[in-house]
């Protein structure tokens, strides 16, 4: 019989190559990064246009996501950490492009409130980011 602490270890601490467990961890990491991203977007939207604020907030979320993913989701591969971050960021920039496009469509064309657009967009981009990073950077790598 498993205890709660053994489930916590399995899902958040022990090394794993299991894509399902990595995705669960990535959802938590992505959720944390999203909170910082969305809060930054909200705060910056008072100072600048929401699409510019979304790009700036994205950078904050990207940095948080990268460091937490390295700690809790994937191990770094044998590449230099700077190169790893560059590839990670390129995937993220593609995700930013998807974010900007979908936020524009949902907000300007569909008429949704921009923070609602952000939530819907974040779910779509989370799946893109995890899949691309798993395949390109961390194929077969566990924590």
Domain boundaries, the chain: 20-136
Q: What confidence tens digit (pLDDT) does each residue in 112-130 have?
A: 998 899 889 988 998 999 9
The residues, any chain, with a CB within 8 Å of residue 36's CB and separated by 6 or more, are: 57, 60, 61, 64
Q: Which of 6-20, 36-50, 58-72, 83-97 has the lowest mean pLDDT?
A: 6-20
Question: Mean of the pLDDT values across residues 91-114?
Answer: 92
What is the DSSP secondary structure assignment for residue 105, as one 8-state letter? I
pTM of the model: 0.73
CA distance 101 to 97: 6
Distances, alpha carbon 32 to alpha carbons 14, 27, 108, in Å: 20, 8, 27
Q: Cα–Cα distance between 138 and 6 in angstroms, integer?
A: 25
């Amino acid at each position: 019989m498993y205890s709660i602490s053994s489930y916590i270890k399995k899902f958040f601490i022990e090394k794993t190559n299991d894509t399902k467990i990595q995705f669960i961890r990535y959802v938590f990491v992505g959720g944390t990064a999203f909170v910082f991203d969305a809060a930054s977007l909200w705060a910056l939207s008072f100072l600048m246009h929401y699409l510019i604020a979304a790009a700036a907030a994205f950078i904050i979320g990207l940095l948080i996501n990268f460091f937490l993913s390295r700690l809790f989701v994937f191990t770094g591969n044998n590449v230099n950490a700077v190169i790893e971050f560059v590839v990670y960021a390129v995937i993220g920039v593609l995700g930013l492009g998807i974010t900007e496009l979908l936020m524009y469509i949902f907000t300007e064309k569909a008429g949704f409130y921009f923070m609602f657009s952000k939530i819907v967009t974040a779910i779509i981009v989370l799946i893109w980011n995890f899949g691309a990073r798993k395949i390109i950077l961390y194929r077969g790598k566990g924590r």
